[in-house]
Amino acid sequence: MTLRLALTPGEPAGIGPELVLRLAEREHAAELVAFADPDLLRACAEQGGSRVRVESADLSQPARAHRPGTLPCVAIPRARPSVPGRLDPANAPYVLSALAAASDACLRGDCAALVTGPVHKAVINEAGVPFRGHTEFLAERAGRDVVMMLAAPALRVALLTTHLPLREVPDALTAPWLAQALRIVAHDLRTRFGVAEPRIAVLGLNPHAGEAGHLGREEIEIMEPVLAALRAEGLSLDGPLPADTAFVPDRLRHTDAFLALYHDQGLPVLKALGFGQAVNVTLGLPYVRTSVDHGTALDLAGTGRADPGSLHAAVDLALALCRGGR
């Protein structure tokens, strides 16, 4: 059966529209459908010399394999024309409308997966719309608890907290959420990634994982009881581990995923090892969602120099996860 993938280019002044057009130039084993302003895509194609034809999408019809050089589109209009590299808060609602429409198509079953381009969080908030990120937006729309995970060829890192100020992280480290997050990671590693018995390494919050309580007691009072209870349920868990030595080569070879407690605890390591090949995956949704591992790159918008590698990897991983593993 042919699958249909929803694409959202993200910030219209960024590199997302250009990357989506370049994606449409090559062959894919699924139908790609953009949720975007078709005039934006056509203008981007004309400016960049792309021969991709933007067509009207019909989600009521069965999915068909992608035809290189064409891009079906569900039309979502912008408030104003956009200029590459220039943010405009007036178009922030457009970004979220496209994301909402694509998410709803996945929830209805019209699309099997959602692949998202980069958004600019600051300009959305400047438009008066509270927005922390794709992950939180999609979780609320689906009514699900979710976990953000970035996957590179040699490493997977899930996050207990995502776009949260550092001073708020300790309060977000609660026993119920830690247990739920680990269950979500283990479940999706089994059902999406095809890992029969996932081995998960859990990073501690404090330096040296608390140094037996001398550098913080969160590991002793919150984390260790949760990990012990989940091990009794059958989960294979290692930790709490000191973050500075968690990613040594031997542990990398014997770990299917790491759970970091906050954004900059685990992602610098992952991006150092796999930037441009890493893919953002939202675990816990009723559909597959993947995304690029980079931002809007306003300085590259309209130049033709943006690297499409991460978006290609996001589409390839979405297809693999829809089919039960990678």
- Looking at the DSSP bridge assignments, the partners of residue 108 are none
pLDDT value at position 273? 86
The C-alpha atoms of residue 21 and residue 34 are separated, in whole angstroms, by 10
Q: Which residues lie closer than 8 Å to 57 by C-beta, 6 or more apart?
A: 33, 34, 72, 73, 74
Q: What digits encode the pLDDT tens for the residues 281-292?
A: 999 999 999 999
| Residues 277, 153 contacting (CB under 8 angstroms) | yes
| Residues 105, 59 contacting (CB under 8 angstroms) | yes
Q: Considering the chain, what is the average pLDDT of its residues?
A: 95
Q: What is the mean pLDDT of residues 228-246?
A: 97
Ramachandran bin of 236, using left for φ above 0, alpha for ψ from -120 to 50, beta for the remaining angles: beta
Q: What digits encode the pLDDT tens for the residues 87-134?
A: 999 999 999 999 999 999 999 999 999 999 999 999 999 999 999 999
The C-alpha atoms of residue 68 and residue 131 are separated, in whole angstroms, by 34
Sequential DSSP letters for 30-82: SEEEEEE-HHHHHHHHHHHT--PEEEE--TTSPP----TTEEEEEE---SS--
SS3 content of the chain, % helix, strand, coil (to 5): 40, 20, 40
| Residues 134, 121 contacting (CB under 8 angstroms) | no
Around Cβ 326, how many Cβ atoms within 10 Å? 15
- The full set of domains in the chain, from first to last, is 1-144+285-326 (3.40.718.10), 145-278 (3.40.718.10)
pLDDT at 326 exceeding the cut of 70 = no
Q: Quick one: which of 257, 135, 235 has its CA closest to 189?
A: 257
pTM of the model: 0.93
Q: Quick one: which of 119, 73, 75 has its CA closest to 96?
A: 119
